[in-house]
Amino acid sequence: MQTHSQALTVNGLSHTYAGQPAVEGVSFHVAAGEIAALLGPSGCGKSTVLRAIAGLLPAKPGVISLGGRDISPLPGRERGIGMVFQNYALFPHMTVAENIAYPLSFRGWDRKRRQARVEELLATVQLGGLERRLPRQLSGGQQQRVAVARALAVDPALLLLDEPFAALDRALRLDLQIELVRLQQTLGITTVIVTHDQEEAQALASQLVVMNRGHIEQTGTPAEIYDHPASLFVNSFVGYAGKIRAVVESASAAGSTLKVSTGETLRLPRELRFAPGSPVVLTVRPERLSIVDRPSDFTLAGRLLVSTPLGPDVIRSIALADGTEIKLTEPRDLRRSPLESSAPLFIALDVVNLHVFPAGEAL
Ligand SMILES: Nc1ncnc2c1ncn2[C@@H]1O[C@H](COP(=O)(O)OP(=O)(O)OP(=O)(O)O)[C@@H](O)[C@H]1O
């Protein structure tokens, strides 16, 4: 099966529901053949953006172009877009074959041509032999594949998926995620997926568009966003980050000094763009912390609260001197004697890579 994937550009998209702004000034670009994820908490406007791209809502104002052509004035049906909704929206009284063929009848395809296309699509989504079933006679995963096949029927230049795995259990979700990536790579179709699950977004997409309260916080590859979050919100939403409050004491090219909420002083070997006296939040990724025997300019004293094994790693919850809790992960070392709960210890921070944000930023 061949597709003609095209680049998607959304520029300055806004939408209001009954005078209430839902999304404002949303702009991003997805290269042809790429898979992008619109990621953010419930209610941040992801589905609204997707529906506007699909032509189900007007982009007021805003320009949406596909393959360099402004499609904003076109009705949804003429945009060359396939969409899979959260609940799949299959017609319950139609068979699998009829559901998939539905968009083709609008295009005036005759019966024979429709049949051949349905067969091809059923093979693509590995549902051969189930064409006469009704949706209720299928599992959730099979229903989702029918919805994907229907979205692909008209050979769209863009595939939109709104929380396509939300209704499925964890194990099946992983299988279908792998299947979707394989299908997307085989077809090379430009795809935008909406999800509130950051792990799902990182696993599926080569580009993340992180949204918060109707606007975009950051776009970038999963690694860029994880390693260089543009805001405290992004840092906290994509992956876990421990948060430690501090006040900047001095900041110069030779290094910066911070007074931590625990009363301890930390030295950072870099200049911070904060004036002395600024309240800040330090964020630390669990895998970048380590337990050490002795204090230094880069350590904070802590107490082990609990250790939980997770596959090859162990996750440790640590309380700092003022009660601030942070998490640390390290490879499970079977040779080492287990750390005792409430044992005093020192946490070495990765002072090169930790992030510093203004304390006033919403968490
Ligand atoms: N039809 C509607 N009428 C009025 N307000 C709406 C409508 N649809 C969405 N909203 C509001 O617009 C905002 C964005 O909603 P949207 O569904 O786009 O968010 P979302 O990020 O997709 O959320 P979720 O993950 O929960 O689906 C929310 O505040 C929501 O309550």
Residue 4 pLDDT exceeds 80: no
Q: Respond yes or no on whether ipTM tops 0.90.
A: yes
Residue pLDDT, tens place only, 163-191: 888 877 777 788 888 888 888 888 889 99
What DSSP letter does each residue of 300-325 carry, written as one string? Answer: EEEEEEEEEEETTEEEEEEEETTS-E
Average pLDDT over residues 226-230: 94
pLDDT of the residue at 169:
78
Task: Tell me: do 77 and 13 sit in the same domain.
Answer: yes
pLDDT of the residue at 81:
92
Number of domains in the chain: 2
To test the pocket of ligand 1, the residue of 44, 50, 209, 210 to mutate (highest count of ligand atoms within 8 Å of its CB) is 44
Residue 17 CA to ligand 1 center (angstroms) comes to: 9
For residue 3, name the pLDDT band (cuts at 50, 70, 90): low
Residue 1 domain-assigned (yes or no): no
Residue 49 domain-assigned (yes or no): yes
Task: Tell me: do 177 and 309 sit in the same domain.
Answer: no
Average pLDDT over residues 201-225: 95
With 0-12 / 13-18 / 19 or more C-beta atoms within 10 angstroms meaning exposed / middle / buried, residue 42 is: exposed
For residue 336, name the pLDDT band (cuts at 50, 70, 90): low
For residue 41, name the pLDDT band (cuts at 50, 70, 90): very high
Task: Tell me: do 212 and 269 sit in the same domain.
Answer: no
* CA dist., res. 97 & res. 314, Å (int): 49
- We report the CATH number of the domain holding residue 179 as 3.40.50.300
Task: Tell me: do 202 and 116 sit in the same domain.
Answer: yes
Q: Which of 182, 205, 233 is the last residue of a domain?
A: 233
List Cα–Cα distances, 331 to 242, 274, 288, 317, 340, in angstroms: 19, 35, 12, 15, 17
3-state secondary structure 158-184: EEEEECCCCCCCHHHHHHHHHHHHHHH
Whether ligand 1 lies within 6 angstroms of the CB of 17 is answered as yes
Nearest CA residue ID for atom 14, ligand 1: 45
Residue pLDDT, tens place only, 232-245: 999 989 988 999 99
Q: Which domain holds residue 298?
A: 240-358
Residue pLDDT, tens place only, 289-328: 999 988 998 999 999 998 888 888 899 999 999 999 999 9
Residue 281 pLDDT exceeds 60: yes
Whether ligand 1 lies within 6 angstroms of the CB of 201 is answered as no
Residue 362 pLDDT exceeds 60: no
CB 209 within 8 A of CB 223: no
Task: Tell me: do 138 and 55 sit in the same domain.
Answer: yes
Residue 74 CA to ligand 1 center (angstroms) comes to: 23
Whether ligand 1 lies within 6 angstroms of the CB of 38 is answered as no
The minimum-distance atom of ligand 1 relative to the CA of 196 is 25
Residue 42 pLDDT exceeds 80: yes
pLDDT of the residue at 338:
66
pLDDT of the residue at 77:
84
Residue pLDDT, tens place only, 256-265: 999 999 999 9
Whether ligand 1 lies within 6 angstroms of the CB of 72 is answered as no
Average model confidence (pLDDT) across the chain: 89
Task: Tell me: do 228 and 250 sit in the same domain.
Answer: no
Residue 21 CA to ligand 1 center (angstroms) comes to: 10
Nearest CA residue ID for atom 30, ligand 1: 43
Residue 363 pLDDT exceeds 70: no
